[in-house]
Amino acid sequence: MVIDSFVWICFLGFVFFMLALDLGVFHRKSHEVKIKEALIWSAVWIGLALIFNYGIYVFMGEQKAVEFLTGYVIEKSLSIDNLFVFIMLFTYFKVDVKYQHKVLFWGILGALAMRAIFIFAGVALINKFHWIIYIFGALLVVTGIKMLFHKDEDIQPDKNPLVRLFKKIYPVTEESHGGKFFVKLQGKTFATPLFVVLLIVEFTDLIFAVDSIPAILAITNDTFIIFTSNVFAILGLRALYFALAGITKYFYYLKYGLSAILVFVGIKMTIVDLYKIPISYSLLVITGILLISVLISVAFPKKNDLINN
């Protein structure tokens, strides 16, 4: 339909405009993003998502609005797990704080393209082969259980298969060379460690997309709702990272909450033909689990955190 194409074009235009405004105006020069600036940008992205959600309510109805909000909450909560990886990654490579925004910007730009492919492929598969929804559901349940028993380990990027393959086919410098991804030395082009970090950021999002996309497919199979909720969650991820980078380690019980969310959504998918859990109930359960896990983390911090403080 013409109106559908028009809506898609308008939304993508808005996304590219905001990205251009972000990189070309507000972050034209590399600088350290302070907590105050990060909180302001987090509020802006959340506010824009809520305004967009209201627009969906007005033009598409209450059902679609609840689907968008539920999908947004799921993607936002699951994306918090990415933050822990980013923190370890930037620490491992000793990435200067003023260049971290640049890495996350280009990493998220690539993530948007990959998410779009996952979303359209996932919806097409479910529409053509309904039984695949059971596979997605089982995948989420297994992932949730694995997350529950997963122990935190130091990240070792050098063992990443993508990094090892890239270093075999392309030379990488030992020095950082400021905020450059590539440099020319003695007439030969080298990639910098900053580009290696970008590669791992993209690879990490690809792995997380395997969990998050099936999770939102349990809520709706409307590609527009899935894509837009994903986009708003991802676009706000950079600001959220800088706002929470120093305190995410205190949310010790958050991973248990994320595990419970994945298991719940997975069960919701596997029983969809027996009983379809209302979207409004799903939203309440997901936000409730997330809130409880954060409150428990604050009320019962790890002993190590108390000692360090």
Tens-digit pLDDT profile for residues 287-302? 888 889 888 887 877 6
Whether the pLDDT of residue 23 is over 80: the answer is no
For tokens 């909720």, the residue is 229
Whether the pLDDT of residue 62 is over 70: the answer is yes
The mean predicted confidence, pLDDT, of the chain is 79
Look at residue 306 in the predicted model and tell me its pLDDT.
44
Look at residue 69 in the predicted model and tell me its pLDDT.
93
Whether the pLDDT of residue 48 is over 60: the answer is yes
Work out the average pLDDT over 86-112: 78
- Per-residue three-class SS string for the chain: CHHHHHHHHHHHHHHHHHHHHHHHHHCCCCCCCCHHHHHHHHHHHHHHHHHHHHHHHHHHCHHHHHHHHHHHHHHHHHHHHHHHHHHHHHHHCCCCHHHHHHHHHHHHHHHHHHHHHHHHHHHHHHHHCCCHHHHHHHHHHHHHHHHHHCCCCCCCHHHCHHHHHHHHHCCECCCCCCCCCEEEECCEEEECHHHHHHHHHHHHHHHHHHHHHHHHHCCCCCHHHHHHHHHHHHHCHHHHHHHHCCCHHHCCCHHHHHHHHHHHHHHHHHCCCCCCCCHHHHHHHHHHHHHHHHHHHHHCCCHHHHHHC
Whether the pLDDT of residue 119 is over 90: the answer is no
- Mind listing the pLDDT tens digit for each residue in 245-293? 656 656 777 778 878 888 888 888 788 778 878 877 888 888 888 889 8
Q: Using 50, 70 and 90 to split pLDDT, how confident is the model at 155?
A: low
Whether the pLDDT of residue 89 is over 80: the answer is no
Among 158, 172, 238, 252, residue whose Cα is nearest residue 205: 238
Structure tokens at 297: 């983390």
